[in-house]
Structure 1
Amino acid sequence: MTKQDRAVRTRLALIRSAAGQFEARGYVQASLAEISAGAGVSSGALHFHFANKAAVAEAVEHAAARALRRAAARGRDGDGCALQRLVDVTHQVARLLCADSVVRAGLRLNAEAAAGRVRDLRREWRECVDDLLAEAERQGELAAGVPPHRTGAVVLAATTGIEVLAREDHGWLARPSLTDLWQLLLPSLAAPHLAGALDPAGTRPGHVDADHAETGLSLANTL
């Protein structure tokens, strides 16, 4: 292993450890000593990579943002029924949150603006939802009288609520929770010709991609 690879691996270990601390204790209570200890490195090694706690939190937030944006992009930029892709991307993001402590911690830091936002990730999620609903309207997938913008607000509120509740109980991120949500919403959203054609449980495989699992980080995207 090269010196550069070792440095990158140390940085990744610090980000993972920091995410665990931020998720469990919050930004204020997390300490640099505990972060370095959790990563198995000295405090000097931590300060080689990060000037202070805010810099560590910013790195966690950046890593989470990358993973969430990739998940959202796969739904927004795909082919086929836009409403089904909206259902699928909510399940994908939920699986990512369930599997990845860095994503959970980064989203919480972003919402609390603890380290100065990379960008408002909730706004980005709203944009993803709105884009897919606008596409669904163009393709004639929405029932008559369904306003895409107001519908987007409902989806945003429901999915954000699930994410907040999941901070105490990850069961909220399980597939049945989102399936129940979509079973309630789809009959009122979808055009009649789509009745029975949409799967509220999602059509994508029930796993998180390997490059997203446990941090969504890799040597390549950290260099």
Structure 2
Amino acid sequence: MVKQLRAARTRQALVLAAAEIFAADGYALSSLPAISRRAGVSAGALHFHFPSKDALAMEVERAARRSVEELVADRQPAAPSPLHLLVTVTREVLVAVAADVVVRAGFRLSVDPSRKNGMGFGCWWRGWVREELLRAQRAGELADGVSPDRAATLIVAATLGFEVLGVPDRDRIAPHAEQFWTLVLPQLAARGEQFAGLTLADSWPRAQSARAGRSPV
């Protein structure tokens, strides 16, 4: 039991250290010796748990996904509808990007061009966003002409973009997210939908005018 506990703590230390280095330096510039030093773990212990840098990166992505899945499970019971859940989770994921280095590293690794086996976490996140948009469409929450696929691409791109913007000034991620949804929701949601005090019906005529003559989201 003591050995198992020690092994679990070593593994956790390695994942955290790897996330810190991957988030700061990217996959290509990160090294296993640097990660083992950051974790305070010997090279032999690192290789016992993770045979390669890619195996360690995949574990960071899995840990990031578990964190977001827990967030979704926690918020889902109180969400009145799929689109409300999507807005709430996206806001909180961006807060997690600022506060949780594992989530931040997971997003960065998922789009890192130097990785051959990347996109696991990123693909899951896009799939979840798309599924919620499809559920919202079936529930009549999306405006006419809105494409769930295109909207999912936009929201996922914004998530990754805010991660980049948030690196030098993480305290401003949440305000950026609010501005994003203030601009996007009138284009996305059916008339009269309300979100945390924002009544989209008030901005509907302006949104309709802006959408006229333009490809749907």
Confirm or deny a common fold (TM above 0.5): yes
Residue 138 of structure 1 and its aligned partner are, at CA, apart by 1.9
Residue 7 of structure 1 and its aligned partner are, at CA, apart by 1.0
SS in 1 for 2:26: helix
Q: Work out the CA distance in 1 between the residues paired with 2:152 and 2:28.
A: 33
Checking the alignment, whether the CA contact within 8 Å between 1:87 and 1:200 is kept in structure 2 is no
Q: Work out the CA distance in 2 between the residues paired with 1:111 and 1:16.
A: 19
Residue aligning to 2:157: 157
Residue aligning to 1:184: 183
1:33 aligns to 2:30 (yes or no): no
Superposition TM-score, scaled by structure 2 size: 0.77
Give 2:179's aligned amino acid: D
- CA displacement 1:163-219 (0-9 Å, x = unmatched): 23223432452x21111111112223222232xx21279xxxxxxxxxxxxxxxxxx
Q: Work out the CA distance in 2 between the residues paired with 1:108 and 1:120.
A: 11
1:63 aligns to 2:77 (yes or no): no
Residue aligning to 1:193: 192
SS in 2 for 1:29: coil
Superposition TM-score, scaled by structure 1 size: 0.75
Q: Work out the CA distance in 2 between the residues paired with 1:9 and 1:36.
A: 13
Residue 78 of structure 1 and its aligned partner are, at CA, apart by 6.6
Larger RCO (CA under 8 A, 6+ residues apart): 1
Residue 9 of structure 1 and its aligned partner are, at CA, apart by 0.2
Give 1:82's aligned amino acid: P
Checking the alignment, whether the CA contact within 8 Å between 1:110 and 1:121 is kept in structure 2 is yes
Residue 12 of structure 1 and its aligned partner are, at CA, apart by 0.7
SS in 2 for 1:28: coil
Residues 45 and 180 of structure 1: is their aligned pair in 2 closer, same or farther, counting only changes over 3 Å?
Answer: same
Checking the alignment, whether the CA contact within 8 Å between 1:62 and 1:118 is kept in structure 2 is no
Residue aligning to 1:6: 6
Give 1:192's aligned amino acid: R
Residue 79 of structure 1 and its aligned partner are, at CA, apart by 4.8
Residue 52 of structure 1 and its aligned partner are, at CA, apart by 3.0
Checking the alignment, whether the CA contact within 8 Å between 2:130 and 2:152 is kept in structure 1 is yes
Residue 110 of structure 1 and its aligned partner are, at CA, apart by 2.2
Checking the alignment, whether the CA contact within 8 Å between 1:15 and 1:56 is kept in structure 2 is yes
Residue aligning to 1:214: none
- CA displacement 1:77-99 (0-9 Å, x = unmatched): 87522221111010121122112
Give 2:56's aligned amino acid: V
Residue 54 of structure 1 and its aligned partner are, at CA, apart by 2.7
| Structure 1, unpaired ranges of 5+ | 202-223
Residues 34 and 97 of structure 1: is their aligned pair in 2 closer, same or farther, counting only changes over 3 Å?
Answer: same
Checking the alignment, whether the CA contact within 8 Å between 2:82 and 2:132 is kept in structure 1 is yes
